[in-house]
Amino acid sequence: MLPDVIDETVTVDRVITPKDLLTDPAFAGPEYMLMKAMAGIMAGDPARLEQPYAVQLSGLSWSGYRLGAGLQVVSGDAAGRQLYVMSHTGDVLVGGGHGDADKEKFAGVKAGDQIHVDNRKFLAFCYFHRHHIMNDSQFDGLRVGGKPIYAQHPIPLMSPLMGVSYTQGTTRASCSGAPHPRLVAVAVPGDHLPGCGPWRTGRFRRGGAVPAPVDAERGAHHARLAAAVAAAGEQHLPDRLHADHRAGPRRPGAVVEEDVAPASTSYQYVDGQVRLPATAAERGGVQPVVSVTANGGALATVSVGEPVTLSVQADTPAAGGTIVSVQWDFDGQGTYPYSDPSVDGTATSVTLTTTHTYDAPGTYFATALVSDPPRR
């Protein structure tokens, strides 16, 4: 980890505004694209367009990990202000902070001022889980022979702003103690939100905190398959909103008022991986299970202009709805231009075939998007 550490005081070469990012040719390169996109959003407010938004620093270590690093101004009119690296490109660092510091950002900072860049706390946070493991399967990879690999430390006091992830029986929605006796938890494999994986919900189920089964939804009702390369088995996960709709706001009411158990998804959590059964009947839950083939296999190699037969098999579990649409994206661009007209919204299982030709050489990912109606 030592090459990642930054702990040094460097000089400000330039203070940069959103207007600078949008108009200065020095920032014309593609590496500044995302930074300029955020500056463009800020451009809608004339007052923010001229706000000191980023700094360009000289002498900063190139090997250190910059995202999340602390930026404390140590000289000049803004001395003492504490910010953090929210994004960066090269030696240009965008800062953000808490309270007034976030509003002021780099206001008052001038070229020649000194800034202390220190990422030790951020790196410690990244490895926090290693040193605070729980008696839960999600931490098995950090144990050998039942004993922690790394030294363990007492759990520090944590902020309730985003939940207390290391307290048994606590969720992001209920930060002060045990959850409500009846809880529907929607956990989507592949979810980018921290703490939302199905292994989190398993903790409540095993601990007996929730009498009704926990709704650990699969969420992956899309299947992606290579039409020309060996990428079979890769799944295209939908956004979380669909899974939330499938659980539906009425589900907690049914659990609490009518004692109706939510449709739980079967899965195993082994060696840090979520393993799902292959069929809808075994998997349960409410979302379709989808598989796709190209010319009958996981991949197909064809000549330009040669038709490729794409097939999709989709099934919904017992608690799921009917299949209301099957759409195809032939080149992996996410546009889904073709909707199969034979789907009438009445079937719980479909096997469909279509053909497509590619007019240029390349590698293409054909994706089937199978939808069932959300619960409201």
**CA-based angle 369:374:376, to the nearest 5?**
165
pLDDT computed for residue 52 by the predictor: 93
* Helix runs in 208-320, H state only: 240-247, 250-258, 280-283
Amino acid letter for position 369:
L
pLDDT computed for residue 169 by the predictor: 38
30 Rama class: left (phi>0) / alpha (psi -120 to 50) / beta: alpha
Which DSSP string do the residues of 137-181 spell out, in sequence order? GGGGGGEETTEESS---PPPP--STT--TTSTT-BTTB-SSSPPS
* pTM of the predicted protein model: 0.52
Which DSSP string do the residues of 33-99 spell out, in sequence order? HHHHHHHHHHTTSHHHHTS--EEEEES--SSS--TT-EEEE-SSTTTT-EEEEEEEETTEEEEE-ST
Instruction: Walk along the chain (376 residues) and give the pLDDT tens digit of each residue.
Output: 578 899 999 999 999 999 999 999 999 999 999 899 888 887 778 878 889 999 999 888 878 899 999 999 999 999 999 999 999 998 999 999 988 999 999 999 999 999 999 999 999 888 888 898 888 777 888 999 989 999 998 876 665 544 444 444 333 333 334 444 555 666 655 554 444 555 556 655 555 443 333 333 332 222 222 222 222 233 344 445 555 555 555 555 666 677 676 677 788 777 667 788 889 999 888 888 899 999 999 889 999 999 999 999 999 988 888 999 999 999 888 788 999 999 999 999 999 999 999 999 999 989 998 988 755 4
C-alpha span between 250 and 55 (Å, rounded): 49
DSSP conformation class of 125: H
DSSP conformation class of 313: E
pLDDT computed for residue 38 by the predictor: 87
Q: SS3 of 100, please?
A: helix
pLDDT computed for residue 219 by the predictor: 29
And the tokens for 242?
Answer: 């669909």
pLDDT computed for residue 327 by the predictor: 93
And the tokens for 58?
Answer: 């000289």
Of 234, 323, 235, 252, give the one whose Cα is nearest residue 287.
Answer: 323
